[in-house]
């Protein structure tokens, strides 16, 4: 069964007297375990598409079926519950909570799921931090970490609850090429080991190199959908 099915997905932003179409009838299917990159020029609708997939926003028209569940009619609370359990986000600016340590930032995500015992939470957090290469840095606060380390914490936070889907919006934008490479390696490893579906939105050719599926968006429509071996 497909993880995501989008049919006729349309998003129009109402900016006073002007209506700005961001997506114009997108049809896409994403299978479980894909490592997909959405690319395209600025303003093409990449981020809008990611927000709709991640239940952060609602489409003006069209349908999204996430893991067999139609999202259109769901209340805010139900959408929040889907995000809490099944979706992880990685943003360009990391968005870590500055008063929490690396460990606590990751712990926060898994505690929200509220399915694990105390010891299991600890084991999970330490395991994922080790997996993203942050062993020994658990007690550091975000301001004591480099950009690459912060992004690893953000990835660990997204992965720790073992979501079905991770959405990463320009995850390498603030990183140098070496760090960017390392972070992408970590995500690829997680994709292979845990089978987590990754969808990236990016301009970065390095990210595209890693992708097994490339979707180009132009003017709010799918211009190209290419799968790699």
Partner 1 sequence: MFLTKLALKNLARHRNRTLITASIIAFAVFFYLLLDSLIGGMTEMSYEMIINYEAGHLQVVTEEYWAEEEKLPLKNLMTPGPQLLAAIKDVPGYQGSSAELSFQAMLSNGVNELPVIGRGINPQDFAGVIDLADHFVEGEMFRADGRGAFGVTQAVIGKRLAELLKLQTGDYVTLLVKDKNETFNTIEAEITGLIHTGNPLANQGVVYLPLDVAREALAVGDQASKVLIRLENKNRAPKVANELAEQLRAINPQLAVYSWDQLEAVTVAGAKQMGNQLIMTIILLIAAIAIINTVILAALERMEEIGMMKAMGLQTKEVIYTFVLESTGIGILGGICGLLLGLAGVGLFTIVGVDFSAIIDMTPYGIPVVGKIYGVWNPASFVTVFAFGVIVSLFASILPAYWAADKDPVKAIYSR
Which positions lie near partner 1, rule CB under 8 A? Answer: 47, 51, 54, 56-57, 76-77, 80-85, 87, 89, 91, 93, 95, 97-100, 107-109, 111-112, 157
**Which of 105, 83, 102, 106 is CA-nearest to residue 163?**
83
Minimum CB separation from partner 1 for residue 55, in Å? 9
Minimum CB separation from partner 1 for residue 211, in Å? 23
Of 167 and 184, CB closest to partner 1 = 167
* Dist CA 36 CA 193 (whole Å): 16
* Dist CA 79 CA 58 (whole Å): 10
Q: What's the distance, CA 214 to chain centroid?
A: 16
Task: Give me the DSSP letters along 165-214.
Answer: EEEEESTTTTS-HHHHHHHHHHHHHHHHHH--EEEEEE--HHHHHH-SEE
Minimum CB separation from partner 1 for residue 56, in Å? 5
* Dist CA 47 CA 115 (whole Å): 31
Of 72 and 81, CB closest to partner 1 = 81
Of 54 and 148, CB closest to partner 1 = 54
Of 18 and 99, CB closest to partner 1 = 99
Minimum CB separation from partner 1 for residue 195, in Å? 21
């Amino acid at each position: 069964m497909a993880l995501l099915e989008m049919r006729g997905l349309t998003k129009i932003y109402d900016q006073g007297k002007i209506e700005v179409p961001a997506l114009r009838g997108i049809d896409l299917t994403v299978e479980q375990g894909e490592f997909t990159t959405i690319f395209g020029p600025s303003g093409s609708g990449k981020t809008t598409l990611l927000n709709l997939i991640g239940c952060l926003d609602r489409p003006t028209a069209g349908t999204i079926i996430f893991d067999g569940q139609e999202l259109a009619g769901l209340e805010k609370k139900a959408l929040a519950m889907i995000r809490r359990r099944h979706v992880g986000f990685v943003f360009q600016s990391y968005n870590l909570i500055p008063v929490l340590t690396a460990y606590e930032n990751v712990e926060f995500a898994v505690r929200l799921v509220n399915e694990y015992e105390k010891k299991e939470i600890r084991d999970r957090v330490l395991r994922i931090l080790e997996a993203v290469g942050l062993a020994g840095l658990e007690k550091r606060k975000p301001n004591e970490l480099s950009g690459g380390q912060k992004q690893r914490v953000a990835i660990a936070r997204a992965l720790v609850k073992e979501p079905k889907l991770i959405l990463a919006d320009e995850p390498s934008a603030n990183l140098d090429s070496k760090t960017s490479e390392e972070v992408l390696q970590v995500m690829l490893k997680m994709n292979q080991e845990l089978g987590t579906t990754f969808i990236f939105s990016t301009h970065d050719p390095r990210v595209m190199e890693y992708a097994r599926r490339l979707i180009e968006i132009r003017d709010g429509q799918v211009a190209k959908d290419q799968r790699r071996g």
